[in-house]
Structure 1
Amino acid sequence: MSEYPFPDPVVEIADVQELARDVVVIPNRDVDLVPNIGVIGGTHSVLVVDTGLGPRNAETVLAFASEYANGRRLYLTTTHFHPEHAFGARVFAGEATYLVNTAQAEDLAVKGEGYLAMFRQLGEPVARALEGTGIPVPDSTYDGTRELDLGGRVVLLRPTGRAHSKGDQVVTVPDADVMFTGDLAEAGQFAIFPWFPPHDTDVSGIRWIEVVERLVGERPRVVVPGHGAVGDTGLLTQVRDYLVELRDETWARRDSAVPEETIAEEVRALMVQRHPEWRLPEWVERGVGCLCAEWPGPRDQGRSR
């Protein structure tokens, strides 16, 4: 098993940030494989957004959420099926109702075991966090927008369609103007492209741009990314602009019949030059691979957003 070069992926209940009345985030502290986790309250119920990686992290989240709820009913949702976001959900069984969109439930059923095996090979700290993990089965699924009434507050669970994954969803709190994006947006790092052909090719850079463009148009006051610092609409704009430049630089070279390996090297160097402060540049090559597969062929005219 390879050496894991990052801090242990442990959720810590520290520096919990209040975003609005009865809306808080447990920040990921810029630790890899730790997501930002939301807790949203109404008069009779509380919704938890994402679980952390594996049972022990989920137990930490559940303990915090139960204390925060103080007798209110618990719900759980996850922004998408990837392990650090959803693979603690079984801990909530019997304590919370687990709700996800249909496409995400299909991702869990079809790809869950493969991702569990892959993540267990990332290093001993990750494998340890995943001890005892089972693939969760949601209590309830839905298509289209699910309006979840927490009592005096309605939270919207909105599937986006294929983008970062097939089953992405955005969680919004309209009365507080807060949006949880999952890995559709990251702060301070390059966008995560889970492009693993032939095993998983559901990520779509083109659809991802379209989805984030729509979210930018909503102009949320607070944006909670999957990883990294909480921001505002400017964070979504930054993500959109990066995805557009990644597409344009990749396709310009693909138009010229440059080999994909050369495209990946050149585009990675260019993106690191343009964004020297961002983390995890290894995801640039995955993005290039995805966008090469989505290349529509040579074009004479420029491309717009």
Structure 2
Amino acid sequence: MTDVTEMTNAAGAPKAVEHTGPDPVVHVAGAQDIAHDLLVIPDRGVQLVPNIGIIGGRDAVLVVETGLGPRNAERVLEFAADHARGRKLYLTTTHFHPEHAFGAEVFTGAATYLANRDQAADLETKGPGYLEMFRQLSESAARQLEGVRLVRPDIVYDRSYDLDLGGRVVHLRATGRAHSKGDQVIGVPDADVLFTGDLVEAGQFAVFPWFPPHDTDVSGTRWLAVMERLAARRPRTVVPGHGGLGGPQLLADVRDYLAELRQETWLRRDSAADEQTIADEIADLMIRRRPQWIGREWIGKGVGCLCAERAAHAHDEPAPGSPS
């Protein structure tokens, strides 16, 4: 995602503004081999461009993410079909946000689209609002989103799906509510590779799409629990939603940041300080601890989310660091 200022648009959806980077175009020529028959088309550090996966087996190829809009998806599909050389094509997306999933229509008839049930519901109920929001980010984003038609996945699963590509089984796993309600991770066990979507963004403060009252599905506490589970697995290669590929430390970095954000927020939330004062104090603290990370504007959104969650849990458990 990108820099945000909270507003509302005519459709009543949250509105994000200030996409000022280069055109969000997927460059398939930069695809990198990271394991046997497993490639990543990197985001090149460009806003609104995700890392895209191409995972091959003997009989089929799975594409992970579409890119922002039909023209990017056409490039991805052409590249994947050329790589597949006649093998069956599948598509999956890590969550419903536009740069990850709003090109799926291009794959209709050429690939079988799989997603978990919560993500399919997100596409149906929240997709139109996010389409309008992202069209207002910038002229370049609006151009990429021209002609978008949201489509329902061909295969909708509940919590887990094992996709046999022929000699390689890929694990699709719904994580439950975290960065969004329908997040999923994609694991390639034989290569020890994990695609995380925006649960992990390398070198960036976690993106909290916290836009009350329009979108409050993000959960800091549940996200932290997901990251604790993923970090314990220690996969060899982690492909984040955005940013450079890495190893298990990427998972640990996000886990540790979310744990610190929750602790610092909940300790202050139990004081007399107002939410803006809390957000300002924590933003200053987190930036001093991680001066190289980008996305500083998302710290305050995370604080807002966790303040709301602290209020909801106030009678259930003590804040971290407080007497029990």
TM-score, shorter chain, exceeding 0.5: yes
User: Which residue among 47, 52, 66 is the counterpart of 1:51?
Assistant: 66
**Consecutive unaligned residues in structure 1, runs of 5 or more:** none
Structure 1 runs of 4+ aligned residues shifted over 2 Å read 1-4, 296-303
Alignment match of 1:158 (pick from 173, 178, 194): 173
State how far apart, in whole Å, the 2-side matches of 1:14 and 1:85 are. Answer: 19
User: 1:73, 1:190 → 2: CA distance?
Assistant: 37
User: What is the CA–CA distance in structure 2 between the aligned matches of 1:142 and 1:207, rounded to whole Å?
Assistant: 21
- Alignment counterpart, residue 196 of structure 2, candidates 150, 168, 181: 181
Structure 2: unaligned runs, 5 residues or longer? 1-15
1:12-44 per-position Cα deviation (integer Å, ceiling 9, x unaligned): 113311111011100001111110000000001
Letter of the aligned partner of 1:217 in structure 2?
A: A
Q: 2:205 aligns with which of 162, 179, 190?
A: 190
Compute the TM-score of the two structures, normalised by the length of structure 1: 0.97
1:119 maps to 2:119: no
Displacement of 1:301 after TM fit?
A: 6.2
Q: Deviations over 1:247-286 (max 9, x none)?
A: 1111111111211111111111111111111111111111
Across the aligned residues of Structure 1 and Structure 2, the Cα RMSD in angstroms comes to 1.4
Distance 1:101 1:265, change over 3 A: same
Name the CA distance, whole Å, in 1 between partners of 2:124 and 2:34. Answer: 33
When residues 193 and 300 of structure 1 are mapped into structure 2, their CA distance, relative to the original with a 3 A threshold, is closer
Match of 2:273 in 1: 258
Matches within 5 A, 1:51-200: 51-200=66-215
The whole-number CA distance in structure 1 between the counterparts of 2:179 and 2:319 is 29
Measure the CA separation in 1 of the matches of 2:207 and 2:160.
25
CA distance in 2 between counterparts of 1:130 and 1:200 reads: 21
Q: Does the aligned pair in 1 maintain the 2:267–2:319 contact within 8 Å?
A: no
Structure 1 residues 267 and 98: CA distance shift in structure 2, 3 A: same
| Residue range with higher mean Cα deviation, 34-43 or 136-145 | 136-145
Rounded to whole Å, the distance in 2 between the matches of 1:136 and 1:197 is 26
How far apart in 2 are the matches of 1:280 and 1:161? 24
Partner SS state of residue 68, structure 1: helix
1:138 is displaced (CA, Å) by 0.7
SS at match of 1:14: helix
Q: Note the alpha carbon deviations across 1:102-136, whole angstroms, 9 max, x for none.
A: 01000000100010011111111111110011112
C-alpha separation in 1, matches of 2:293 and 2:18: 23
- Say yes or no: does 1:247 pair with 2:266: no
Instruction: Go from structure 1 to structure 2 and tell me whether the alpha carbon gap of 1:212 and 1:5 turns closer, same or farther (over 3 Å shift).
Output: same
2:321 to 292, 302, 305: 302
* C-alpha separation in 1, matches of 2:137 and 2:276: 24
Aligned identity (percent) is: 65
Amino acid aligned to 1:179: L
- Report the number of matched residues: 303
How far apart are the structure 2 equivalents of 1:148 and 1:300?
A: 41
Rounded to whole Å, the distance in 1 between the matches of 2:245 and 2:92 is 19
Preserved contact between residue 41 and residue 52 of structure 2 (Cα < 8 Å)? yes
SS of 1:155's equivalent in the other structure is strand
CA contact (8 A) 1:3 1:124 kept: no
